[in-house]
């Protein structure tokens, strides 16, 4: 269930209708909770649920809280709150079979600089791009303040996916949302004839007019799990109105649950520090290290070996987009080497005018002006660029770079391939007082105001020159350093740490034979 509660959450939780709806749902998402930090601790929550609240952090001393998102999750569900992917008004939850994003995006042209470093819709774009690259199921639910009319992002002659909506209007934000869905192969379920249920109705009812702005959006893997979608009536059977938004009820057909929460696929950066007290603990660490080594080999095959190393050249990059998501968007790229450096650049971005493209274009231009035998430290606030280059590049290369900004990423990879020295991508926090990165941001904004440039043309990059020189096998050509963000995880209770370790090892090794399965079960029952 997903509902924009429009404030007064504590009072509305006393409503019998809402209580019944909550008790009939395994996961309940609320937008516009208007809660401050720790306010959720005083809420009267039905038994059997845990609360995950994500509030705004204001820069003012005595803020009046608005926005905010919250989730009620049944105690028997294994879920991870992905703090590393959350941002103001955007909550990311990871379940065994899919990611679930609970989002509230301010109406167009509303001010957000009092609680966010960048445009919340751009933050949502970044988050969805990262989650889409994992290949896992992805649901986006919430109030996006976008009107998409009857348009369907995936509707083609060969792939009919028509939509019928009572709101025929399409807004600027709606066009941006449709384009984002097209790029990431996401489908809008509201009014989509492929999905059972009554879901073509309006969702927002204001004095100034009614509209459809609350959505369920899913990728192909998640769409296959959908059993039914329903948009509830605005008034309950007693004639009462809980909110000026209608609730969306999504029903899923899920595979049988694993024996424990640890059976789901684990991301290497989600593991907490592991103990080394027992032989099983040490075996678990060996398995994890072998997984990391496999990923490193894939990157090594893509980028090639390292032959040279030097004192790293430091460069700060940033992207900017004025009017991001609108028809008049203007994107820029900033490259900053230092005060008065002749290599500093303020560039207008060719092609699609988005902040993400500006970030990628800045990295491309930086690589072009640094000698291939010089080590590089690139400082960027774009997790999207860092993850694409250091995690998902082998997969995208194998698929022909069919992703947003794939033309630029393809050339970035080719520039790295002809390098003989390493590059390290270092994540920094944007707009946090880092003067060098602030200068890159300033240059990116200047670039966004530059005149429009011709469409992007792929670079003519020669193949790497074969050499008989010995490589530096212990020095990765491409690496990353990410900001350390705490991850809050809610797990099912296990009997002991040893059982947890055994389950993780079993999951990672896979293909357990019948004889070895007996050994696993015997060990677990010790």
Q: What is the mean pLDDT of residues 128-137?
A: 88
pLDDT of residue 82: 92
Which of 172, 164, 169, 166 minimizes the C-alpha distance to 149? 169
* pLDDT band at residue 516 under the 50/70/90 scheme: very low
* pLDDT band at residue 149 under the 50/70/90 scheme: very high
pLDDT of residue 503 exceeding 90? no
| C-alpha triplet 424, 429, 434: angle, nearest 5° | 90
Of 174-188, 403-417, 490-504, least confident by mean pLDDT is 490-504
* Residue, of 165 and 239, whose pLDDT is higher: 165
CA 445 to chain centre: 24
pLDDT of residue 431 exceeding 90? no
* pLDDT band at residue 187 under the 50/70/90 scheme: very high
* pLDDT band at residue 405 under the 50/70/90 scheme: very high
Token pair 């948009």 is at which residue? 231
Of 176-180, 214-218, 496-500, least confident by mean pLDDT is 496-500
Token pair 């379940």 is at which residue? 95
pLDDT of residue 418: 93
Partners of residue 53 on adjacent β-strands: 70
Tell me: the pLDDT tens digits for 193-246?
Answer: 889 999 999 999 987 789 999 999 999 999 999 999 999 988 776 677 788 999
Of 265-269, 299-303, 356-360, 471-475, least confident by mean pLDDT is 265-269
CB atoms within 10 A of CB 460: 7
Of 8-22, 149-163, 487-501, least confident by mean pLDDT is 487-501
Q: What is the mean pLDDT of residues 329-333?
A: 95
Q: What is the mean pLDDT of residues 24-29?
A: 95
What are phi and psi for residue 217, nearest 5 degrees? -125, 140
For each of the domains in the chain, give its residue range(s) and CATH number, in order of start: 2-253 (3.60.10.10), 268-295+493-524 (no CATH), 304-481 (3.30.420.10)
Q: Which residues contact 127 (CB under 8 A, 6 or more apart)?
A: 85, 87, 90, 92, 101
Furthest C-alpha separation in the chain: 82
Q: How far apart are CA 464 and CA 301, in angstroms?
A: 13
Q: How far apart are CA 192 and CA 164, in angstroms?
A: 7
Of 158-172, 328-342, 420-434, 490-504, least confident by mean pLDDT is 490-504
pLDDT of residue 440 exceeding 50? yes
pLDDT of residue 275: 63
According to DSSP, residue 33 is labeled: -
pLDDT of residue 491 exceeding 50? no
Q: What is the mean pLDDT of residues 254-271?
A: 50
Q: What is the mean pLDDT of residues 358-370?
A: 97
What are phi and psi for residue 11, nearest 5 degrees? -70, -45
Q: How far apart are CA 273 and CA 230, in angstroms?
A: 43
Q: What is the mean pLDDT of residues 4-8?
A: 88
Q: What is the mean pLDDT of residues 457-479?
A: 87
Long-range contacts of range 501-507, CB-CB < 8 Å, 24 or more positions apart? 501/280, 501/281, 501/283, 501/284, 502/280, 503/259, 503/260, 503/262, 503/263, 504/262, 504/266, 504/284, 504/287, 505/280, 505/283, 505/284, 505/287, 507/262, 507/263, 507/264, 507/265, 507/266
| C-alpha triplet 398, 483, 488: angle, nearest 5° | 95
pLDDT of residue 488 exceeding 50? no
* Residue, of 267 and 39, whose pLDDT is higher: 39
Of 117-131, 137-151, 201-215, 266-280, least confident by mean pLDDT is 266-280
Strand ranges (DSSP E) for 55-199? 69-74, 79-81, 90-94, 98-104, 137-143, 186-188
């Amino acid at each position: 269930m997903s509902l924009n509660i429009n404030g007064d959450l504590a009072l509305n939780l006393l409503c019998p209708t809402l209580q019944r709806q909550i008790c009939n749902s395994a996961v309940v998402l609320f937008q516009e909770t208007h809660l401050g930090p720790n306010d959720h601790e005083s809420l009267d929550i039905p038994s059997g649920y845990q609360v995950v609240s994500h509030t705004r952090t204001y820069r003012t001393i005595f803020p009046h809280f608005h926005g905010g998102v919250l989730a009620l999750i049944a105690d028997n569900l294994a879920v991870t709150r992905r703090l590393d992917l959350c941002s103001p008004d955007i909550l990311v939850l990871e379940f065994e079979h899919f990611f679930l994003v609970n989002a509230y995006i301010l109406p167009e042209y509303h001010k957000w600089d009092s609680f966010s470093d960048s445009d919340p819709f751009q933050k949502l774009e970044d988050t969805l791009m990262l989650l889409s690259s994992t290949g896992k199921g992805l649901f986006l639910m919430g109030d996006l303040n976008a009107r998409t009319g009857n348009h369907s992002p995936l509707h083609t002659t060969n792939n009919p996916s028509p939509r019928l909506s009572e709101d025929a209007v399409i807004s600027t934000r709606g066009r941006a949302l449709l384009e984002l869905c097209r790029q990431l192969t996401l489908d809008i379920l509201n009014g989509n004839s492929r999905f059972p249920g009554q879901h073509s109705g309006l969702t927002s009812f204001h004095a100034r007019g009614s509209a459809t702005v609350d959505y369920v959006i899913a990728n192909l893997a998640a769409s296959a799990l959908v059993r039914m979608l329903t948009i509830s009536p605005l008034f309950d059977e007693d004639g009462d109105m809980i909110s000026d938004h209608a609730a969306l009820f999504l029903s899923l057909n899920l595979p049988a649950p694993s024996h424990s929460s640890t059976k789901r696929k684990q991301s290497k950066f989600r593991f907490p520090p592991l103990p080394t007290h027992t032989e099983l603990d040490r075996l678990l660490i060996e398995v994890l290290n072998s997984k990391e080594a496999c990923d490193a080999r894939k990157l090594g095959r893509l980028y090639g070996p390292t032959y040279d190393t030097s004192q790293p050249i430091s460069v700060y990059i940033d992207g900017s987009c004025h009017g991001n998501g609108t028809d008049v968007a203007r994107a820029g790229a900033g490259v900053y080497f230092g005060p008065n450096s002749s290599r500093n650049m303020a560039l207008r971005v060719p092609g699609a005018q988005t902040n993400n493209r500006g970030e990628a274009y800045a990295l491309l231009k930086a690589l072009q002006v640094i000698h291939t035998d010089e080590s590089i430290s690139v400082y960027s606030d774009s997790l999207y660029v860092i993850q694409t280059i250091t995690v998902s590049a082998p997969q995208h290369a194998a698929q022909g770079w069919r992703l947003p900004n794939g033309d630029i990423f393809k050339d970035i990879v080719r520039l790295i391939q002809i390098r003989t020295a390493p590059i390290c991508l270092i994540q920094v926090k944007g707009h946090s007082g880092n003067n060098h990165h602030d200068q890159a941001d300033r240059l990116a904004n200047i670039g966004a105001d530059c005149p429009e440039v011709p469409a992007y043309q792929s670079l003519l990059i020669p193949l790497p020159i074969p050499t008989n020189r010995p490589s530096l096998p212990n020095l990765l050509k491409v690496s990353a350093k990410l900001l350390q963000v705490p991850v809050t995880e809610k797990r099912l209770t296990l009997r002991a740490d040893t059982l947890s370790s055994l389950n993780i090892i079993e999951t990672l090794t896979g293909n357990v034979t019948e004889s070895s399965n007996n050994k696993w079960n015997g060990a677990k029952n010790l």
